[in-house]
Structure 1
């Protein structure tokens, strides 16, 4: 079973182009790590500096724990830390944005 998790992050002012460039050039080893950790899809939308993510994953907390120290994820997270206002610690203890409603 796959769960969908919504996330919200925020860019540092002036990093919009660098963020778009980074995501246009995702390292293949990171893609493999994400897939290996159970990610089926990860979509990101941007409105101004706000980023909204929807992650379809087998087990969100397990994915976060699996990627926390993964050698493909460590440099990626370091790069994102340069671009995002707040970078999480990849603890896996969060559960994303609370879902309020879904079309029945």
Structure 2
């Protein structure tokens, strides 16, 4: 499955976020592979970040990460620069954004 997420960088933290997120820790990359997260790309527009995640099952991956030491360490580190995540309605939360349109899906229909 492919999902999108939206987060926001803390005021004044863009350069530090970029620097600290240039490479994730190897143990976190291994955890992602173990829980079925195959690809994760992040784009920035101003202080907004847009994430595209390709995974087997997002809810299962999030549940598996809840007790994972590598993810906890990463969140504590990178969390210094992230203000919050927003859901599809703009409220605080990590629920995937609503997919409005997909060219491949239209083409395949």
TM-score category of the 2 structures, normalised to the smaller one: 0.7 to 0.9
CA contact (8 A) 2:41 2:52 kept: yes
TM-score (norm 1): 0.87
1:38-77 equivalent positions in 2, closer than 5 A: 38-77=36-75
Whether 1:31 and 2:29 are equivalent positions in the alignment is: yes
Q: Which structure 2 residue ranges, 5 or more long, are not aligned?
A: 87-92
Alpha-carbon distance, 1:25 to partner: 2.8
TM-score (norm 2): 0.83
Count how many residue pairs are aligned between Structure 1 and Structure 2.
Answer: 98
Deviation larger for 20-29 or 39-48: 20-29
Which structure 1 residue ranges, 4+ long, deviate > 6 Å from structure 2?
A: none
Taking the aligned partners of 1:54 and 1:97, their CA distance within structure 2 comes to: 10
- Tell me the equivalent position of 1:18: 16
CA gap 1:96/1:45 in 2 versus in 1, 3 angstroms? same
Taking the aligned partners of 1:9 and 1:87, their CA distance within structure 2 comes to: 4
Alpha-carbon distance, 1:24 to partner: 1.3
Q: Which structure 1 residue ranges, 5 or more long, are not aligned?
A: none
Which whole-Å deviations, capped at 9, do the CAs of 1:11-65 have from their partners, x for residues lacking one? 0011111111111131100000011110110000001100000000000000001
Structure number with greater Rg is 2
Partner secondary structure for residue 72 of structure 1 = helix
